[in-house]
Amino acid sequence: MIELKNIVKRFGETTILNDISITIPEGTVTALVGPSGGGKSTLLRCTNLLEIPTAGTLTVGGESLHFQPGHKPGWAAIQSIRRQTGMVFQNFQLFPHQTAIQNVMEGLIVVLKWPREKARERAMELLHKVGMAHKADAWPSTLSGGQQQRIAIARALAPSPRVLLCDEPTSALDPELAAEVVDVLSKLAAEGTTMVIATHDLRLAAQIAQNVVFLESGQIVESGSAQQIFTRAERERTRQFVATINAAYSYDI
């Protein structure tokens, strides 16, 4: 289980997240939706401690960290949480000087100290999973955005994290390439991979998420099942936000 309790994040005098509490059960997909600047990406980064919360409690599996202003957790505690999460970024962030398979192997060899052959076997297994085994020896510069993002997903999955965090995984892609990534994420969801996805793409959220959290101005406006949020939201602000997308798309949920 992943739990964020009373999370606050401030940058100077500006409050980015204000008293956020979310529980993410194992084996579920939670989508964070809302307008730009609402705090979605910051919440993801607080979950894997790329950003250290100002206050609150974070629990990942059996590990809990408590935060308070002016006190930063020790590096060992941060790493213990971070190693239980995998992060997929909006802009792929593959190493350009490494092939696809080398990108997936890198963390296993450098961080986890796996033998090279064992890391290669694990990387090849994951490239098969995301449909990229045929591009194992390709350089990132020769791949489409959708292909690069699928390799980034394989890299994030390599150490078998407890939760996969995806920050706008399709926003840098055109619709056809985005569909490739959505297909991979859908398969992972069907396999029971725990995921938290920050996204502007309500089609992605509606397709694979069981739970949805609508964030605006650093606060939770409403949360619930995907079907509830997209078809019978309780808050007027949520209905307005969903309607802007529903005007252009219909959802099969």
Place of tokens 């996805």: 197
- pLDDT category, 196, cuts 50, 70, 90? very high
Give residue 245's pLDDT: 64
Question: Does residue 212 surpass a pLDDT of 70?
Answer: yes
What's the pLDDT tens digit per position in 24-52?
Answer: 999 999 999 999 899 999 999 999 999 99
Question: Does residue 129 surpass a pLDDT of 70?
Answer: yes
What's the pLDDT tens digit per position in 58-90?
Answer: 999 888 999 999 888 999 999 999 999 999 998
Instruction: Give the start-to-end residue ranges of the domains of the chain.
Output: 1-84+164-253, 94-160
Q: For residue 126, which phi and psi values (nearest 5 degrees)?
A: -75, -35
Give residue 183's pLDDT: 93
Instruction: Using the Cα atoms of residue 247, residue 165, residue 170 and residue 40 in order, give the sign of their dihedral.
Output: positive
d(CA 59, CA 41): 18
Structure tokens at 226: 């995907």
Q: For residue 106, which phi and psi values (nearest 5 degrees)?
A: -55, -50
Are the C-beta atoms of 84 and 3 separated by less than 8 Å? Answer: no
Look at strands 211-216 and 219-225 and give their pairing.
antiparallel
Rg (C-alpha) for the chain, rounded Å, is 18
Q: What torsion, rounded to 10 degrees, do the Cα atoms 63, 32, 143, 157 define?
A: 20
Mean pLDDT for all residues in the chain: 92
Percent of the chain scored above 70 by pLDDT? Answer: 96
- pLDDT category, 94, cuts 50, 70, 90? very high
Question: Does residue 22 surpass a pLDDT of 50?
Answer: yes
Give residue 244's pLDDT: 74
What stretches of the chain adopt beta strand conformation (E)?
Answer: 2-11, 14-24, 29-33, 55-60, 63-67, 85-88, 163-167, 195-198, 211-216, 219-225
Are the C-beta atoms of 86 and 164 separated by less than 8 Å? Answer: yes
Beta-carbon count within 10 A of 112 CB = 13
Give residue 172's pLDDT: 80
CB neighbour burial string for 202-241, b if at least 16 within 10 angstroms, e if fewer: bbbbbbbbebbbbbbebebbbbbebebbbeebeeeebbeb
d(CA 1, CA 68): 22
d(CA 83, CA 96): 23
Domain 1-84+164-253 belongs to what topology?
A: Rossmann fold (3.40.50)
Structure tokens at 144: 């489409």
Question: Does residue 96 surpass a pLDDT of 90?
Answer: yes
Question: Does residue 54 surpass a pLDDT of 90?
Answer: yes
User: What residues contact 51, with CB distance under 8 A and at least 6 apart?
Assistant: 9, 42, 45
Question: Does residue 142 surpass a pLDDT of 70?
Answer: yes
- pLDDT category, 177, cuts 50, 70, 90? confident
Question: Does residue 173 surpass a pLDDT of 90?
Answer: no
Question: Does residue 252 surpass a pLDDT of 60?
Answer: no
**Structure pTM?**
0.91
Question: Does residue 111 surpass a pLDDT of 50?
Answer: yes
d(CA 127, CA 77): 31
